[in-house]
Structures are given as structure tokens and as C-alpha cells.
Structure 1
Amino acid sequence: MPKTLNQKQIEEIKSLLVQNKMTIESTLNNLSNEHVNLSEMDLNDEGDFAAASRDYITDVHIKNQQLRELNLINHALTKIEDGKYTGLCEMCDSEITIKRLRVKPHAMYCIDCRDYIEKSQVKKAV
């Protein structure tokens, strides 16, 4: 039977999740404040427009990634609040190591399952 996290470890993970959530929310807030509609910008030439477009596209990708991560963090926090957070892989029920959870506290999968999912996604994309 896989080893689940004890209450002290769950509190540690919860603290990391809350810290990460605050950081992401701050980043998203900053991106929203910096966002300016390209049509409202004073762009003098095609080079300026290209640079502004590139920056805008980069910001959109960052925002989308941050929103995905925020959803995963909220999922983990909800599981903790509901008393259902175990630190086990949601795919195979194997232990997610505390070392991995300290780096990525919102991890839902063990390394093996994560690798399997990523390889499956690459095959679908090709």
C-alpha cells in the first residue's frame, strides 16, 4: 500500500500552494495592468508593431500557462480542504514523493504517469 502524507507534510504542501497561488495571482494582475490594446498603441512602423505583437502573444501564452497552473493549485487546495488530499498519483495511486511535491506542490501525477501523459500528448500532436 502506498504511503500517504502525514498532516505536517500536508500543511507544508498547503503553505507552498498558497504561496504559489499568491505569486501567480500577482503575475496575472501585472499582466492585466500592462495589457494595452495594440490598436491603441502609438506604433510608428512595422518593426514597432511586430515587437508589440510578439510581446502581446508572449503575454497571452504566459497568462494561459499561469491560469492552467492556478487551476491545478486550486484543485489541490480544494482536496486539502475536503480532507481528500493524500499525495498519491491520481492515475495509478502510487506515492508522489515529498521531494517532487515540494518543487511542484500541485502535482497530480507521479513521475512515471506524468511521463506517460506527456508522451501520449506528443503522439497526438504529431
Structure 2
Amino acid sequence: MEAKDLEFFRKYLTQELDDILRKGEETIEDMTETREVYADPADRATAESDRSFTLRLRDRERKLIKKIQAAQRRIDDGSFGYCEECGDDISVERLKARPVTTLCIECKSRQEEEEKVRGD
């Protein structure tokens, strides 16, 4: 992989991480503000549902943070862009679609097929 590609992914991953952390801080601020009192139980249920949805999103982002940090470490150690299973290059197009990926498309397809057969 060319140095310009690595720099692109380094900047992209850093920006993604910063965005996720900022959203997390905003969620914490929103959740610690005084809770509103709802006269209508339906309004309260809607607000609780919205909070629950936001927390589920932040949990998914928390997991993504770990993947982003791992991808950043792979950039630093020179292993970014190589499939962990077969060692081949992962295409730049695939990395642009999923920069935290660790498998080439062939290995990922094989993994998904095996999971489908096992019923995972």
C-alpha cells in the first residue's frame, strides 16, 4: 500500500474516532441533564424509547472504537491492509468501504459462509 493511502486511512480513522468520542460526550451531557416530567405516559414512553435507542447506538460505537484503535495500531506497525487469514493485500476499495476490516473479501466471504453453515 502506498504511503498516501496509509495517510488517508490514518486521517480518516482519527476523524471517525474523534466524531464517536464527541457524540459520546454529547450523550453523557444530555443524559445528565435534569429529566423532564411528562404528563402523558405516551410522551414519557417515547422519550425513554429514544434514550434506549441512543444508548444502543453508543454501545455499537464503543465497540467500533476498539476496532478503530486496532486499525490505527496496524497502520503504525505496518500490518494494515493485509489479510490476517491469508496474508494477501486487502484492496483499497474494500478498506474504503470498511477501514477496520482485517480480512480480504475472499476470506470474509468464506468466513460468512462457514458461519451460515454452522448456524451462527
Name the TM-score, length of structure 1 as normaliser.
0.77
Alpha-carbon distance in structure 1 between the residues aligned to 2:103 and 2:54: 28
Match of 1:25 among 17, 21, 28: 21
Unaligned runs of 5+ in 2: none
Cα 1:65/1:76, change in 2 over 3 Å: same
Alpha-carbon distance in structure 2 between the residues aligned to 1:26 and 1:117: 34
Q: Which residue in 2 is equivalent to 1:63?
A: 58
Q: Which residue in 2 is equivalent to 1:72?
A: 67
CA positional deviation for 1:37:
8.0
Unaligned runs of 5+ in 1: none
Q: Which residue in 2 is equivalent to 1:113?
A: 107
The structure with higher relative contact order (CA 8 Å, sep 6+) is 1
Match of 1:16 among 12, 28, 49: 12
CA positional deviation for 1:36:
4.6
Q: For residues 6-65 of structure 1, give each alpha carbon's deviation from its aligned partner in whole angstroms, at most 9, with x where no partner exists.
A: 322212211111111111111212222222589x43122320221012111101111011
Q: Which residue in 2 is equivalent to 1:100?
A: 94
Matched length: 118
Q: Which residue in 2 is equivalent to 1:35?
A: 31
Q: Which residue in 2 is equivalent to 1:85?
A: 79
Name the TM-score, length of structure 2 as normaliser.
0.80
Cα root mean square deviation, aligned: 2.5
Cα 1:115/1:26, change in 2 over 3 Å: farther
Q: Secondary structure at the match of 1:88?
A: coil
Equivalent residue letter for 2:27: L
Alpha-carbon distance in structure 1 between the residues aligned to 2:110 and 2:39: 48
Alpha-carbon distance in structure 1 between the residues aligned to 2:83 and 2:16: 20
Same amino acid, percent of matched pairs:
21
> Would you identify which runs of 4 or more consecutive aligned residues in structure 1 move more than 6 Å?
none
Equivalent residue letter for 1:62: L
CA positional deviation for 1:114:
3.1
Alpha-carbon distance in structure 2 between the residues aligned to 1:51 and 1:118: 36
